[in-house]
A and B are shown apart, each in its own frame.
Chain A
Amino acid sequence: MGADFVRIGDVQLEVERRGTGRTVLLLPGEDVLEPDSEAAAALARSFDVVIPSPPGFGRSSRPDWIDSVDDVSYLYLSLLERLDLRDVCIIGCSLGGWIAAEMATKDQSRLAKLVLVAPYGVKFGGAAKRDIADMWTLSPRTVMELKWCDPATGQRDIATMSDEQLAIIARNLESFARFCWEPYMHNPKLRHRLERIAVPTLLVWGEKDGIVSSDYGRSYANLIPRAEFELIAGAAHYPHLEQPGHFMRRVGAFLR
């Protein structure tokens, strides 16, 4: 277990690796709560878990030319090649789910299975409809209520954090906006490319997700040829964090 850096072109990617077994590429959501989660610990007991930080997140560098999820997905495909990872299962959550979907539409040669947890990336509605709640014009408090069944679960204790930890949070917020500001949380091309995904895919959705509804999730699943859909009760946008037991049972079965 530990973080390392892998250089891809002019980008230094921070990559954490723990456990042994088949490789699971765990792509955290924009809040990056996954590395410390019960689900991640459970995964590391059976898998070789690889957790990269996107450019501008964590300690990864972010050259100016990188400004989209599309860019991140190409870097991560290069990362799979660099580490010579094969037969990889990707678990991508929220922003990480979008990155995973982009990767799979581009090159599936090193992929075995895909788990997308409440991914962003696609827009279904018309010009005046927001498919994905606007996390930047809603109040921070409302966003927490939309993301969590129990918003207290997602609260972080800023007062006890070091400057370095706070700087990472600030970088994450900044880079998230750099990639996802416009088009907001989607790539207009992606919905037309999802039909390319041939690996078995599981979409997992929290029943109470207020950021992207479960209806959105079902529409997303319908665009992927071999997709299954799992709805988790008692959870909102982060079902893997709010209901890790249910999540791990379903995902464990899917990955076997």
Chain B
Amino acid sequence: MQAWHFTEMPYPYLPPDAPSTRINLPSVHFDPKIGADLYNRYLDEHAIADELGLDIMLNEHHQTPTCIDTAAPLNLAILARQTKRARLLILGNPVGHRNDPVRVAEEMAMIDCISYGRLECGFVRGVPYEVFASNANPTRSGERLWEGIDLCLKAWATTDGPFNYEGAFWHRRSINLWPRPYQTPHPQIWVTGSTDVATPHRCAERGYVFATFLLPHQQVRPLFDSYRERFVERGLPGGGGIAYMPLVHTADSESEAEGGAEELRWYLTSSRSEPQFRDPPGYMPVKGKVAAMKQAASGGARNLRQGSLEQLRDQGILISGTPDSVARQVKRFYDFVGGFDHLLMMDHAGFMSHERTVRSMTLFAKEVYPQIKDLPRTKPIRVAQAAE
């Protein structure tokens, strides 16, 4: 089991009456002096994670105060120099939203070289509201993601001079990457998903890591099972494995842990958005849209993420407590979902102080990590059955 430190790098000082924290909150509410301190603090904490033996994950969002890491490759480049040993995961590049996948491939190759091959390269379709920031057509964001990945891979793997490319979404006449990645032919690829089993299937077929975030274990299990099934069906080695992100807080006492967990919950409760930003046209497939319309007509669904701390812990969306309790909860989730390989820890959110964040990371690294590090890697389902 590999454990990764992660924060969305929030700017938590939201105006109390803001109807929306997505897309249209005026930037007059961003104080650059506070923002400068936050960026530097968050980068410091990533350097501490490196010293503690944790790996590091970054992501990006746009036009929202809940994540001011709007250009993850920039922070990644800083960390490539300021850290020494941690794996550096970007999860991920919203390649379908960027107008130039070749530029993404170049950035990743540079970071991989500067870090001496510590890059883990993720790609994401992007959450619905991202289409408003990038203007990428919501009905094609999935297709753009996979074409973008393929173009990056081809750009990295082609080492014998320029190639021409005329795809559905991008045309380039002489792609010839300088530099190419430090890891040959390219870093491990990661892709995220949350509902459609087609994504873990595709990841398994290609040997990518499949990652999913903040879902109850009942919903995670079928996604992970479909990954494990498919990499046997296709006879492929399976590659990277599977990853899950809960909120994670480790503290010296249960009462202290409860306070930290409450601060992490900010991430689940502070996001407000107007309906049009949650549901851009054609982002959801027709079947999903039909289900959503019926649900809305019948009064809407209960949001699983809005439960009590106890409920969140029961679902595995939140893992919090003293070190032994956190280790138990990780193992419980591991058993519920049939095993997994990467624990992506959102271990900071909202107003959580530097001291509390570092204490939690330190306790985890020193007292929890040794208890879970040797959990076996996930196995292909049929191999496991054969062993039994």
Q: Which residues of A contact B (CB under 8 A)?
A: 64, 136-140, 158-159, 163, 166-167, 169-171, 173-178, 181-182
Q: Which residues of A contact B132 (CB under 8 A)?
A: 136-137
Report the separation of the CA atoms of residues A178 and B131 in the bound assembly, to the nearest whole angstrom: 13
Once the chains are docked, how many angstroms separate the CA of A176 from the CA of B298? 26
B286 near A167 with CB under 8 A, answer yes
User: Which residues of chain B in 126-140 are interfacial with respect to chain A, using CB atoms and an 8 Å cutoff?
Assistant: 132, 135, 137-140
On whether the beta carbons of A137 and B276 are closer than 8 Å, the reply is yes
What chain A residues lie within 8 Å of B137 (beta carbons)? 177-178, 181-182
- Chain A residues in 8 Å Cβ range of B297: 158-159
Secondary structure call for the B interface: helix
Docked pose: A181 CA to B132 CA in angstroms: 10
**List of B residues within 8 angstroms of A169 by Cβ:** 293
0/1 per residue, B268-294, Cβ < 8 Å to A?
Answer: 000000111100111010110110011
Q: Which residues of B contact A158 (CB under 8 A)?
A: 293-294, 296-297
* Chain B residues, Cβ within 8 Å of A182: 135, 137
A170 pairs with B293, CB closer than 8 A: yes
Q: Using Cβ atoms and an 8 Å threshold, which residues of chain A touch B289?
A: 166, 170, 173-174
Whether the Cβ atoms of A166 and B293 lie closer than 8 Å is yes
Q: Are B280 and A177 in contact (CB under 8 A)?
A: yes
Shortest Cβ distance from residue A66 to the other chain B in the assembled complex, whole angstroms: 12
Encoded as 1 (CB less than 8 Å from any A CB) or 0, chain B from 108 to 127 comes to 00000000000000000000
Q: Which residues of B contact A137 (CB under 8 A)?
A: 23-24, 132, 276-277
Of the listed residues A174, A175, A176, the one surrounded by the most CB atoms of chain B closer than 10 A to its CB is A174
Kindly name the residue among A140, A169, A171, A181 whose own CB sees the greatest number of chain B CB atoms within 10 A. Answer: A181
A166→B282 contact, CB < 8 A: no
Partner of A170, one of B274, B280, B290: B290
How many B residues, CB 8 Å from partner? 26
Q: Residue on A with the closest CB to B296? A: A158
Number of A-B contacts (CB under 8 A): 65
Q: How far is the CB of B169 from chain A (nearest CB, A)?
A: 11
With contacts A140-B275, A140-B276 taken as known, whether A167 is within 8 angstroms of B298 at the C-beta atoms is: no
Residue in chain A with minimal CB distance to B132:
A137
Residues of A within 8 A of B287 (CB): 167
Distance in Å: Cβ of A180 to nearest Cβ of chain B = 9
Which of chain B's residues have a CB closer than 8 A to the CB of A159? 297-298
Most chain B CB neighbours (cut-off 10 Å) among A139, A158, A163, A177: A177
CB A121 to nearest CB in B, in angstroms, measures: 18
Neighbouring B residues of A176 by C-beta, 8 Å: 281
B residues near A, CB below 8 A? 23-24, 132, 135, 137-140, 168, 274-277, 280-282, 284, 286-287, 289-290, 293-294, 296-298
Residues of B within 8 A of A174 (CB): 139, 281-282, 286, 289
Main secondary structure, interface of A, reads helix
Q: Which of A140, A163, A175 contacts B290 (CB 8 A)?
A: A163
What are 22 residue pairs bridging A and B, where the CB atoms are less than 8 Å apart in the complex? A64-B168, A136-B132, A136-B276, A137-B23, A137-B132, A139-B275, A139-B276, A158-B294, A158-B297, A159-B297, A166-B289, A170-B284, A170-B286, A170-B293, A174-B139, A175-B139, A175-B282, A177-B139, A178-B139, A178-B140, A178-B282, A181-B137
A-B pairs with lowest CB-CB distance, top 7: A174-B282, A177-B281, A170-B289, A158-B297, A159-B297, A170-B286, A181-B137
**Besides the known contacts A159-B297, A173-B282, A177-B282, 12 further A-B residue pairs in the complex with CB atoms under 8 A apart:** A136-B132, A136-B281, A137-B23, A138-B276, A139-B274, A158-B293, A158-B294, A158-B296, A167-B290, A177-B138, A177-B139, A181-B137
Known interface pairs A159-B297, A163-B290, A170-B290. Does A181 touch B139 (Cβ–Cβ under 8 Å)? yes
Q: Establish whether residues A136 and B280, one from each chain, have CB atoms under 8 Å apart when the complex forms.
A: yes
Cα A140 to Cα B287 with chains together (Å): 21
A43 → chain B closest CB, angstroms: 29
A163 to chain B, nearest CB (A): 6
Select from chain B the residue with minimum beta-carbon distance to A30: B281
- What chain A residues lie within 8 Å of B293 (beta carbons)? 158, 166, 169-170
Q: For the complex, what is the distance from the CA of A94 to the CA of B91, rounded to whole Å?
A: 41
Chain A residues with Cβ below 8 Å from B286 are 167, 170-171, 174
- Cα distance A219–B274 in the bound complex, in angstroms: 33
**Cβ–Cβ < 8 Å partners of A170 in chain B:** 284, 286, 289-290, 293
How many angstroms between the C-alpha atoms of A200 and B370 in the bound complex?
81
- Distance (whole angstroms) from the CB of B57 to the closest CB of chain A: 31
For the complex, give the distance between the alpha carbons of A215 and B290 in Å. Answer: 37
Q: Which among A64, A166, A173, A178 is the interface contact of B294 at CB below 8 angstroms?
A: A166
CA distance A170 to B298 in the complex (A): 17
**B266–chain A nearest beta-carbon distance, Å:** 25
Q: Say how far A14's CB is from chain B's closest CB, in angstroms.
A: 16
B22 → A minimal CB distance (Å) = 11
Bound CA span A158–B297, Å: 6
State the Cβ distance, A5 to closest chain B Cβ, in Å.
Answer: 19
- Most interface-central of B168, B282, B284 (chain A CB within 10 A): B282
Which residues does chain A contribute within 8 Å of B275, judged by CB atoms? 139-140
Which of chain B's residues has its CB closest to A177's CB?
B281
